[in-house]
Amino acid sequence: MQKSVRYNEGHALHLAGLARREGTKRGFLSRRAAEASRWHEKWFALYQNVLFYFEGEQSGRPAGLYLLEGCSCERAPAPPRATAGAGAARDALDKQYYFTVLFGHEGQKPLELRCEEEQDGQEWMEAIHQASYADILTEREVLMQKYIHLVQIVETEKIAANQLRHQLEDQDTEIERLKSEIVALHKTKERMRPHQSNQEGEDPDIKKIKKVQSFMRGWLCRRKWKTIVQDYICSPHAESMRKRNQIVFAMVEAESEYVHQLHVLVNGFLRPLRMAASSKKPPISHDDVSSIFLNSETIMFLHEIFHQGLKARIANWPTLILADLFDILLPMLNIYQEFVRNHQYSLQVLANCKQNRDFDKLLKQYEANPACEGRMLETFLTYPMFQIPRYIITLHELLAHTPHEHVERKSLQFAKSKLEELSRVMHDEVSDTENIRKNLAIERMIVEGCDILLDTSQTFIRQGSLIQVPSVERGKLSKVRLGSLSLKKEGERQCFLFTKHFLICTRSSGGKLHLLKTGGVLSLIECTLIEEPDASDDDSKGSGHMFGHLDFKIVVEPPHAAPFTVVLLAPSRQEKAAWMSDISQCVDNIRCNGLMTIVFEENSKVTVPHMIKSDARLHKDDADICFSKTFNSCKVPQIRCASVERLLERLTDLRFLSIDFLNTFLHTYRLFTTAAVVLAKLADIYRRPFTSIPVRCLELFFACSASASGRAEPPADGRSPRLSRKFSSPPPPPPAASVTASPVRTRKLSLSSPSSSRTGPLDLTASSLSGSPPAAHSPAASPPPHPAATSELTPAERAGMESTPAVDAMELSPCRSPSTPRHLRYRQQGGQAADSTHCSVSPASAFAIATAAAGHGSPPGFNNTERMCDKEFIIRRTATNRVLNVLRHWVSKHAQDFELNNELKMNVLNLLEEVLRDPDLLPQERKATANILRALSQEDQDDIHLQLEDIIQMTDCPKAECFESLSAMELAEQITLLDHIVFRSIPYEEFLGQGWMKLDKSERTPSIMKTSQHFNDMSNLVASQIMNHADVSSRASAIEKWVAVADICRCLHNYNGVLEITSALNRSAIYRLKKTWAKVSKQTKALMDKLQKTVSSEGRFKNLRETLKNCNPPAVPYLGMYLTDLAFIEEGTPNFTEEGLVNFSKMRMISHIIREIRQFQQTSYRIDHQPKVTQYLLDKALIIDEDTLYELSLKIEPRLPA
């Protein structure tokens, strides 16, 4: 029973409101006050197990509440009257119904209540009794007694089994003794027989023949049986059974080890810490103990039972029946969900508790227990995380060696499928929890806090350092000014991109983040992303040449404030392209959702979620696709597995494009298809959208119901009261407008604004093409308006009606999302365009018209020919936008695909040139296509990154320095520069397929092998430089200097360099030099222990992962950590399911790791290259091989005699 409850005032008010509306029992009762003779009438409301009371029935705020769990309610007699009153009054009081609520908590007074009617009182008593959960507590006690009884029975059976086992062993000994006596008697009897043969017997020749015949029969029989046995032993069935038995025995051993680990966790840590928490000066609270260990004790009890069952099955070997054990185990394995979901939080609580010296000292005492074998508490807490995958792998191996006709095969397959489903659910929950914790970690780093990060739908995309250029001076800044901004970091900002917001922070000297007072939190729906400022923009003249085309602008137009501009500068074009692509994808999704909301909020009876849900293939499993229970950034269930055709179909679905799906697909498509197939699909979508796009994707756009024609006709004025503000027939050409009208202000549409329903729908084509443009504001397409209709137009609509479309289309870059030219001609059947059919709708507007028609038929004023023209136009434009959007993301963020595949590059160039030749191409589409074409065709002239080969081949560099003449700062900076150069040169396709573990790894993954070789060379260099010193003091000084270098690498976030140096110091040749280490200072040793703890492989590099999660790029992680994760994913799950579907959950896990790697690859260090230092670090002549190092170590400090 819970003794205390934590709640806040908001929670209590929310529950009180629910109690008032939906309470189990509500009404007036009199409550006895502290004074025995006074009763106060209150209005009570019972909700679940909480009883609220209010001052009156209309009171909105409760006066108090009682927690009824574990209480009891009983009838009470009427209290005696101290004073005599009127007889009628006494009779009325005596007739009232009294009852008392007794609470189980110590020190809490009973609650005495009364009501007017006995029936009402009985109803209140029954409701309170049900709310107290008394029946459940009673049932719990009964079950606990049964459990204790069963445990006693099991112990009794164990004792009886041991006794029987001893009796059987004694009987076996007695039987062996009797056998030996019988053999001895037979031998004695044979010796007593006379040696002379019986003369009256058979003929000796006959006896010899019979003896030979008997020998031959026995020999033939033995030979036949030997052949049969040998054939079976060599048969595949026997080999499979042997391997199956080995797997079972190994599983039993692993289960025994796991149960032992849980015993150590519970008996060595959990129970002692509970006792410590109950002491007078507790080093830890009970809540922290529960948060750290979670339900590990329950897990231990479960696996003890399972282990006993396994041992009982082994006792019946060779008959091994295991399926029924898994049938018993499976329903109880859901307890792992809570453990896995809160595992990361558990480790965080443990880390916080370790800050307490008393707790840390106590914990080290527990860890020194011999049963722990030198393992830390974090290690034991990590063991349950791998148990479910271990069962899956074991069952997979067991099924591989189980015949199809085996009696257990179906049961084992069922158990494996259930475990895989549980593993997927646990993985999805962990992914969601990790995203929330990532957001909360960033929120804690910001001093002012950030409420938007508390939104669970806010998904983290990327972070990095950008330079903010002052918008007032950006047209007047000189290169010197830009240099000072970079050197002094005056304009350096830490930027965080989420699915809905963009945060800009400054970093203080203490490492804390501060949001900018103006423009610190940017809502992406209010932003316009401008990738390349137009030449006509006075503020942007010459900025492209000044900044090397590394700048981009974000124009922010808040609905209730003045607009402003944020100018950001990326370190390289590659990083700029990555930022642009991610921001544009976020804005595309927001704007697409906003478009759907605007289209359907007034013009359809179907809301946006229902519109998406109306396509069952988006969330329901089918033969060629299966979904998980978690949602992607578009709030659509994530794909768990699907066929290649369905994945390509989702890639080109016109309704939405999920960022995580697009990243996952482009990262991993090589595992299940080829780039040529993907490009062919995109080309088909562009060339034949009506035949290439599945019909189900178009039905939601143009689902004209058969009953639409039977609707009521619109009012006499020709305007629908619901549709007239947005959709109506095309107006005549608008008059020429002033060029000074602000194109951005007239096109801006805030999806959160109440007036958005009166303005034109969003321009999906522009927003999906340009990075992150605002939705173009298209005025309502309507017939010549009546005076009344004209008065209903908003000022923004009038401005849009007065703007000149030609000027808009020419002056604005595609990133500003210009609206579609208004004079779009509908093509007649005769092939000529009529001037009277000019249309002022943008593609998004026409798209909205068509989607609205799905629920309401044709808009007023449109005939069938115009509607069909709308459909064809919308589908072609939307298909073109989707193709260009995917290609832009592919080219900007996955340029390596085209650098390594010239044929693919030429095919994409041909497709883009074909798009440019399209006469119906809109101006913004044409400009976006030209931008992609230019980005694909340029020869990386802006790539100023150094390559390791360039550094090695430098011939005019100065002579390399020696170790003593170089400072620790110089060494650390150049080590970091070299490590990052090698790390960023790894193409992400090398992380697929475990190529680094194959025999031809040098050909398949040359960059990973180069990284590994560079790591070994640097580690060998450190060890060699230490061993080159002859005297002890010099070696100790060298060790202290290298530890200082490692600490500076840690400050530079170069954890690969830290591991290079610490691994060198831990080599046997260095580690054994006791005299040298005795000379090393205590501070250096403590610092080295801290560095080793940071990069330790304990708990799957738990400390290093936590450090990387909290640091900002640039950084160099240890590559081996990610390779281990990828190997675990590759070995644990196949690429294809048994049905031949692509295991997209696995692809998502691989993509998540690759995205984290590329996040660190894309952000470069601002460290100047010093040739004299790098020549020293890359000089292989200074490296001594391992054997020579050890011999030199023995020569310096010989082994002590035994």
* The residue to which tokens 């896990």 are assigned: 1149
Terminal-residue alpha carbon distance, the chain: 63
State the DSSP string of 302-333.
HHHHHHHHHHHHHHTTT----HHHHHHHGGGT
Q: What is the per-residue pLDDT for 575?
A: 79
Q: Residue 260 — very low, low, confident or very high, per pLDDT cuts 50/70/90? A: very high
Q: Which residues contact 755 (CB under 8 A, 6 or more apart)?
A: 794, 796
The 3-class SS string of 1038-1095 reads: HHHHHHHHHHHHHHCCEHHHHHHHHHHHCCHHHHCCHHHHHHCCHHHHHHHHHHHHHC
pLDDT at 975: 92
| pLDDT computed for residue 703 by the predictor | 46
pLDDT of residue 1118: 92
SS3 111: strand
Q: What is the pLDDT of residues 264-303, one digit of tens each?
A: 999 999 999 999 988 888 899 988 999 899 888 888 988 8
Tell me the pairing of strands 551-556 and 521-523.
unpaired
pTM of the predicted model, to two decimals?
Answer: 0.51
460-469/501-507 β-pairing: unpaired
Q: Which residues pair with 438 in a beta bridge?
A: none
Q: What is the 3-state secondary structure (H, E, C) of 1103-1129?
A: HHHHHHHHCCCCCECCHHHHHHHHHHH
Q: Are 47 and 22 in contact (CB under 8 A)?
A: yes
Q: What is the pLDDT of residue 151?
A: 92
Contacts of 873 (CB under 8 A, 6+ apart): 824, 843, 846
Judge whether residue 833 has pLDDT over 90.
no
In whole angstroms, what is the distance from residue 1048 CA to residue 718 CA? 76
Residue 720 has pLDDT above 70, yes or no: no
Q: Across residues 370-375, what is the average pLDDT? A: 87
List pLDDT tens digits, range 903-912.
888 999 999 8
Q: pLDDT category, 543, cuts 50, 70, 90?
A: low
Q: What is the DSSP letter of 571?
A: S
Distances (CA, A) of 375 to 56, 271, 833, 1086, 1104: 62, 18, 81, 20, 18
Q: Are the beta carbons of 541 and 563 closer than 8 angstroms?
A: no
Q: Read off the pLDDT of residues 954-965 as tens digits, 9 standing for 90 and up.
A: 545 556 667 777
Strand order in the sheet with 97-102: 64-67, 50-54, 39-47, 25-32, 111-115, 97-102, 72-75
pLDDT for res 862: 40
The set of residues, in sequence order, having a beta carbon less than 8 Å from that of 1128 and lying 6+ positions away, is: none
Q: Residue 1057 corresponds to which tokens in the numbers above? A: 């360099």
Which helix (H) or strand (E) segment holds residue 933: the answer is helix 923-937
In sequence order, the β-bridge partners of residue 75 are 99
Q: What is the pLDDT of residue 148?
A: 92
Position with higher pLDDT, 1001 vs 437? 1001
Mean predicted confidence (pLDDT) in 104-124: 85
Q: Is the pLDDT of residue 503 over 90?
A: yes
pLDDT at 815: 36
Pairing of strands 551-556, 527-530: antiparallel
Percent of the chain with pLDDT over 70: 73
Q: Is the pLDDT of residue 109 over 80?
A: yes
**Cα–Cα nearest to 675, from 934, 893, 887:** 887
Burial class of residue 313, CB neighbours in 10 A (0-12, 13-18, 19+) = middle
Among 299, 428, 300, 285, which Cα is nearest to 349's? 285
Cα 279–284–285 angle (5° rounding)? 85
Q: State how far the alpha carbon of 372 is from the alpha carbons of 255, 267, 363, 387, 1100, in Å.
A: 17, 11, 12, 19, 18
CA-based radius of gyration for the chain: 39
Q: What is the average per-residue pLDDT within 628-645?
A: 77
With left for phi above 0 and alpha for psi between -120 and 50, is residue 952 left, alpha or beta? Answer: alpha
pLDDT of 264 reads 92
Least confident among 39-53, 321-335, 996-1010: 321-335
How do residues 452-498 score in pLDDT, each as one tens digit?
A: 887 767 888 888 888 888 754 444 444 434 444 444 467 888 899 99
User: What is the average pLDDT across 1035-1064?
Assistant: 91
Confidence of residue 592 (pLDDT cuts 50, 70, 90): low
Residue with more model confidence, 1146 or 866: 1146
Position 746 confidence tier, pLDDT thresholds 50, 70, 90: very low
Q: What is the DSSP string of 786-828?
A: -HHHHHT--HHHHHHHHS-HHHHHHHS-GGG-PPPPS-EEEEP
Q: Are 78 and 97 in contact, with CB atoms under 8 Å apart?
A: no
Residue 682 CA: distances (Å) to CA of 882, 884, 917? 9, 9, 17
Q: Please say if the pLDDT value at position 415 is more than 80.
A: yes
Nearest to 783 by CA among 844, 841, 718, 827: 718
Count each helix (H run) and each strand (E run) in the chain, helices first: 49, 20
Asked if residue 318 has a cis previous peptide bond (ω within 30° of 0), the answer is yes
Write the pLDDT tens digit of every residue in 1107-1161.
888 787 789 999 999 998 888 888 878 888 888 899 988 898 898 888 888 888 8
Instruction: Assess whether pLDDT exceeds 70 at residue 742.
Output: no
Antiparallel, parallel or unpaired: β 72-75 and 97-102? antiparallel
- Give the pair of three-digit tokens for residue 416: 């494996």
Q: What are 779-789's pLDDT values in tens digits?
A: 333 333 333 33
> CA–CA separation, 113 vs 40, rounded Å?
10
Q: What is the pLDDT of residue 182?
A: 92
Contacts of 531 (CB under 8 A, 6+ apart): 552, 580, 770, 771, 813, 815, 931
How does residue 540 score in pLDDT terms, banded at 50, 70 and 90?
Answer: very low
Give the residue, 188 or 105, on which the prediction is more confident. 188
Choice among 42-56, 654-668, 1131-1145 with the minimum mean pLDDT: 654-668
* 306 in Cβ contact with 329 (< 8 Å): yes
pLDDT for 960: 60
Mean pLDDT, the chain, whole residue set: 75
Say if residues 670 and 989 touch (Cβ distance below 8 Å). yes
pLDDT, one tens digit per residue, over 12-41 is 888 888 888 888 889 999 888 877 678 888
Nearest-angstrom CA–CA distance, 558 and 181: 105
Q: Which of 923, 885, 877 is nearest to 582 (CA)?
A: 885
What is the CA 21 to chain-centroid distance, rounded?
39
Q: Which pLDDT score, from 0 to 100, does residue 945 have?
A: 57
| CB 678, CB 647: distance < 8 Å | no
Q: What per-residue confidence (pLDDT) applies to 655?
A: 66
460: three-class secondary structure by DSSP = strand
Query: 928: which 2 tokens?
Result: 């976006």
Contact 114, 98 (CB under 8 A): yes
Q: 397-406: per-residue pLDDT in tens?
A: 888 888 887 7
Q: What is the pLDDT of residue 772?
A: 36
